[in-house]
Structures are given as C-alpha cells and as structure tokens.
Amino acid sequence: MQSALPTSAMGRLGYLLILLLLTSQSALAQTQPSLSSVTGRVQTAVGGVPIQFANVTLHRATDSLAVKTEFSDVQGAFRLEQLAGGLF
C-alpha cells in the first residue's frame, strides 16, 4: 500500500508549505477583532428638537482619550463606526 504523502525531500517541503499556508490563513481569519458602532440622536432636553451639526466625541473610560469624533446630521443623528471593543 502506498502513502498519499510525497516521499522526496522537495515533495515533502512543498506539502509542508501548502499545509502551513492553509493553517495560517484560518488562524488569521480567527484573530480579526470585531468592530462595533455607536449610533444616536442629539436633541434638546425640552421639546426634543434635533441639534444639527453637533460635535459628538467618544472618550475611552480609562483615561478620557478621545477615540472618535463625528458631527450629527440635520436630523441630529450620528454614527461612530469602526470601533474596537472597550469601555467608553
């Protein structure tokens, strides 16, 4: 009975390189960080009137570092995207 694995040194090297390539691709796919987003609406406390073009800044909880800044649109809506996980 013959083995399906290559017997020459060059064949074994090629086989190992293909195996390494396949396993490294799956490892890279698993280590991608999941990104999140924060959405909301800026409005006045009385009457709920949208605040246009308000500056919305997301700060990290540990040291108050500004992580992302956006402006609200004409309806007061904003969306902060591409955020790594954390406490803000």
pLDDT digits (tens, 9 = 90+) for 60-84: 999 999 999 999 999 999 999 999 8
Q: What pLDDT sits at residue 2?
A: 57
- CB contact burial 36-63 (16+ within 10 A = b; e otherwise): eeeeeebbeeeeeeeeeeeebebeeeee
* 19: containing domain: 1-32
Claim to verify: residue 43 and residue 26 sit in the same structural domain: no
The whole-model pTM stands at 0.60
Q: What pLDDT sits at residue 3?
A: 57
Claim to verify: residue 13 and residue 39 sit in the same structural domain: no
Claim to verify: residue 39 and residue 76 sit in the same structural domain: yes
Q: In this structure, are residues 67 and 36 in contact, taking their beta carbons and an 8 Å threshold? A: no
